[in-house]
A and B are shown apart, each in its own frame.
Chain A
Amino acid sequence: MAAPPTEYEVKAAFIHNIAKFVEWPAVPSSVRSARLCVLGQNPFGEALEALQGKPVGRLNWEIVQADGSASLKECRVLFISASERSNLGRILESIASHPVLTIGDSEGYAEQGVMVNFYPEQNKVRFEINLAAATGAGLKISSQLLKLARIVRPAGGRP
């Protein structure tokens, strides 16, 4: 009945909110925008437009469709689409140890090193966090956020 929000409207709002619980290394005061890059097929449609220009801390979101790997390090948040599954290792390597919050919504992404990964459960959106990947990139994730997430260990890790 009343049209529920679409999956990606909800995910866009999640990205905005999750960013508030992540601490990035300081950036020069000349930087005014927080780049939210989408790599691969953009599944959000218009849903990310709702974030365009919206303040996040002292910065404002700038939505960018990424194509090559060259500019990925400039992203504050990088959404890696399901279409990039086969390139995932190479993509993560190209931004390794840079403070880029990687987000995905594909099964297995978190295990492979994506920091935040959405998954569906009973028609609701849930997310898992690969804490080691975030820490390795110099990002600090608030414990409030960790409480709400399923924590994933990197593939091959021992519990």
Chain B
Amino acid sequence: MKRPLSTRSLVLLLTAVLMVSFILSISSGRVPIQFSDMIRMASTFFQNPEDDLMSKDLVFLWIRLPRCLMAVLAGSSLAVTGAVYQALFRNPLVSPDILGVSAGCTFGAALGLVLPFNSIYSVHFLSFGFGLMAVALSMGLARVISIKPVIILVLAGMVVMSFFNALLMVVKYFSDPYDELPGIIYWVMGSLSRITWDNVLVMAPFAAAGLFLFILLGFRLNILSMGDIQARSLGMNPSFFRMILITASSFMVAVCVATCGQIAWIGLVIPHLARTLAGPEHERMIPVSALLGGIFLLLADSLARTLSSAEIPVGIITALTGAPVFAWFMFRNRSSGWI
């Protein structure tokens, strides 16, 4: 139960790591950009905005910068929603997908990709819409059954998830195997290569609002994780808090998946890492989760961009690194009484 670092110093340290990773990440890639280039661009921007930028400046400003920002936002969002879901469902195996949000988003995106009027906006929009719809269906189904709220919610999520996965199969089956199917498959693997400033501007308010809410409700999450009976006896209305937290999480995850595709493992692994470093109390581990998630996805995406000449989907990197890390955590935390 000893903690080597106070939460404050841990947060400061991780913020520093995040900043260093960010600078490393925006300077690496197929077009190398030096720190001096960034200074030059900044000074050009502020002094003579009329001046033309070099082509590598354009790469930096319009492709790499939004992409790296998105990696931080999406990584943080997936990590904190994972932390919140693990607390709500009192289960270490839960990730934000549990209520079908990813399955819904993926189906929506696949539908968008095969529809005749497909554009990048219709794909994002359908994906976001179906992701939220899947969660709403899970919650509605659980509400209708209305016994043992937590377990039923998980089961309802499984029902909805299977249903949307089946719908995804239908879309895949009827899609054009040479043109559309690879698009769907690539999309499912998750990648940050399509990110534009528009995406960042949509993601940022959701991520910020959600993170703010979760940090504020950190202590309440501790109580919710004790189960409904104890939460009620301590003066809380668990169903109300569950609804608020699930709604906020679903918006965050739906935007992530609608823009980046499925990025596996962050929502599952990062909360465990944060708990190991900061302790299980949510008021401490939520900010740490956010920072770790941002760092992790940022570095994974840098690897995805630089490992080979062709870009590797970042979902593959997060799964390849996340799975062994998770195995190691299970081993390390085997005596905590709770993985």
Asked if A pairs with B, the answer is no
Residue ranges of B at the interface with A (Cβ–Cβ < 8 Å) = none
